[in-house]
Structure 1
Amino acid sequence: MSVVPIPAVPISVVIAHHSGYGHTARQAAAVAAGVDSVPGVRADTRDVTTLDAGLWAALDSAEAVIFGSPTYMGSTSAVFQQFAEASAPVWAERGWQGKLAAGFTNSAGVNGNKDNALLSMAVLAAQHGMNWIPLGLLPGWIYTSSGGPEDLNRMGGFVGAMAQSSSDLSAEQAPSESDLRTAHHLGQRVARTALQFALGREAAARLAVTA
């Protein structure tokens, strides 16, 4: 079995997210743990509530960006949308062109139109010329009669990782363990893909030099 080389400098995956009550922040932490589980890749978790130079610098140097937002009224939060609109100067200069992107969201409802929030993130990534990475899991729970709420991807999403947090539960109690494992899977999937992209780019550069 071939051994994947580990880069001398860790590849950065930024988790750019907003969390209104802490539930989505807990989901973001699970995504970050998934990223950090891949040798040679490190997670850089950023709260987009603060649009400072550090945020934009981290995004500029990242190999991949995983967007995260609660789903409010069927869409991303106003804070996340403010961040998306503030990225317009980066868009104009194609600053994120070719980067990898993915997304996650959380809402109190089992459905809550979470897909709409994830699709708005995918459109944001597409406008920036980024490459979207879907969740890559089959639906869990009620997809088959033998499924249960402990299944990975119990929300049955495809575009990104979904989670559900009942409105009367604290961030210490929700999202559920299965939703957090699904978020971990997304982070790990993006990290592995980022590693493949980075190593492939390096190999292509070496071939170009020797050609």
Structure 2
Amino acid sequence: MMDKLAHLSFEELVQQVRACNLCADFLPLGPRPVVQLSPESRILVVGQAPGRRVHETGVPFNDPSGDRLRQWMGITREEFYDDRKLAILPMGFCYPGTGKSGDLPPRPECAPAWRSALLERLPNIALTLVIGQYAHAWHLPGAKKSVTENVRNWRDFWPENLPMPHPSPRNNLWLRRNPWFESEVIPELQERISQLL
């Protein structure tokens, strides 16, 4: 797939991503790839996959998770949705459906099909926020198995990458058990973002 994508311009590649229906048979609400990117983007946000609300609006992190993420980053909605500042490429571009304990994992076809070609066309990324286990596995070479261990060892990846827990309200218990994340990591993150933007 990568060879077929190499000759495409940035705009053509993004157009193909937005028209992708690779996993259509497995998506309960059908394909609707939700991504945000520009060759100028300075920060990359890598989540898991869009939730139902994001699928409905077509706007990434347009939910309580996004509110918390923007708060952690110390930026406004306007800054967050400026693709010259921020690219958003989840591990799966479409809403995968819901399982017993929340949304299903990102579809496994998505990242191998598109990820490398898209990342190659983002030459100005200086910081990648790596959110959740699927993103950790792809973006953090030598990462531990557990999200908590990766986040605890965040300085091993800093300042190019920051392993993060998911900002979902479902993670409130994790945040209560790991108060050091918001007291120690978030101020460093906000300082780095203000330097980059």
- Structure exhibiting the larger radius of gyration computed from Cα positions: 1
TM beyond 0.5: no
TM-score, length of structure 2 as denominator length: 0.36
Name the structure where strand makes up a greater proportion of residues. 1
TM-score, length of structure 1 as denominator length: 0.34
